[in-house]
Amino acid sequence: MTLTLVSAPAALLPKGTDSTNFVDLDVPTWAWLALGGVILIMLAIDLFRHRDDHPPTPREALIESSVWVACGLAFGAAIAIGFGSQAFGEYISGYLIEKSLSVDNVFVWSMLFTAMAIPIKYQHRVLFWGIFGALTLRAIFVLAGSALINKFWWLLLVFGLFLVYTGIKVIRHRADEGTTQAKTGLGLLSRFIPVTDTFDGHKFFTRQNGRRAATPLFAALVVIELTDVIFAVDSVPAILAVSKEPFIVLSSNAFAILGLRAMYFLLADAKERFHYLSHALGSILVFVGLKMTVSHWYHVNTYVSLAVIVLVLIGAVVFSNRHTKRSAASS
């Protein structure tokens, strides 16, 4: 099957689809540079807006979250115009998978910040640099994963079964998920550099008794990065289950991650309102794991996958809302 594109620049025309019916693009160098430039500009604007370390209000968090989502969808529209509908479907599927899995990450951050007594006015700074590092780590994971899958197709089976196993674990969600690894990370950090008990403004490092030491903010940053690595082990293979094209996987991953800071301040205290979230996320992981396992022999249509993901998320929201109302009525 060959993809056709009407009125698109010749340099952006897709080469077609690969042997597993995923879109295969011929992405020009300038498109990669444009993606990197857009991400850097958005990060710079976000850092400038929060330069005064003010705690975001719920209204501000809602507006910022909406803007980030709009940016992600706008980039998806650009992919649709430049590369066609199948590329757009894979991008949106990857975006939704990463966005939905990241909600669990947000709740873990909330627990970590509370346990480490990080003031809310400094949390955005920690998350900003944490997400900046996460983008780099995800890029490495995606490029390495794509290269390995292209060379060793049987890794699809390994990644797919791993996602099914992980999905079952997520359905049996533990409230303290990620905290054990966080404590391990703090222990490792203290072996390399002293960690103070007090803050020095929003600085990551300070001097204590004439020695350079890390502040609790840097300790929190290390823990955030560690938990992101743990979550990336789940989310990156999940996105590779819906697209093998590095440009689509990286861009969908990046735009989903960029909005996590605003999502955190919007949802951090709303965990009890999403009672069935872990069931939904686990179900999505099981679905994409099974899809990845059989993808060498049978390709599930991209828009069928997208519909399943959307319906699972909608179902989680609807049933969680009913659970919350029942709990409120019985209390």
pLDDT tens, residue by residue, 296-307: 677 677 677 778
CA angle 173, 176, 181 (to 5 degrees): 110
DSSP 193-235: S-B-SS--TT-SEEEETTEEEE-HHHHHHHHHHHHHHHHHHHH
Residue 58 — very low, low, confident or very high, per pLDDT cuts 50/70/90? Answer: confident
pLDDT mean over 38-46: 86
pLDDT the model gives residue 70 = 92
Query: 170-174, 201-205, 213-217 — which is least confidently predicted?
Result: 170-174
72-128: pLDDT as tens digits: 999 999 999 989 888 999 999 889 888 877 776 777 777 777 777 788 888 888 888
Residue 19 — very low, low, confident or very high, per pLDDT cuts 50/70/90? Answer: very low
pLDDT the model gives residue 184 = 58
Range 65-76 burial, b when 16+ CB lie within 10 A, else e: beebbeebeebb
The Cα 71–Cα 53 span in angstroms is: 24
Sign (positive or negative) of CA dihedral 311, 316, 319, 325: negative
pTM above 0.75, yes or no: no
Amino acid at 130: G
Longest dimension (CA), the chain: 69
Which among 183, 60, 47 has a CA at the least distance from the CA of 116? 183
pLDDT mean over 322-331: 74
Radius of gyration for the alpha carbons in the chain, expressed in angstroms and rounded: 21
Amino acid at 155: L
pLDDT the model gives residue 140 = 83
Q: 330 versus 72: which is more confidently predicted?
A: 72
Q: 305 versus 311: which is more confidently predicted?
A: 311
Q: In the chain, pLDDT over 90 holds for what percent of residues?
A: 8
| Summary mean pLDDT of the chain | 77
Which among 10, 12, 25 has a CA at the least distance from the CA of 248? 25
Which among 167, 133, 132, 137 has a CA at the least distance from the CA of 241? 167
pLDDT the model gives residue 180 = 56
- For the chain, the structural domain boundaries read 10-330
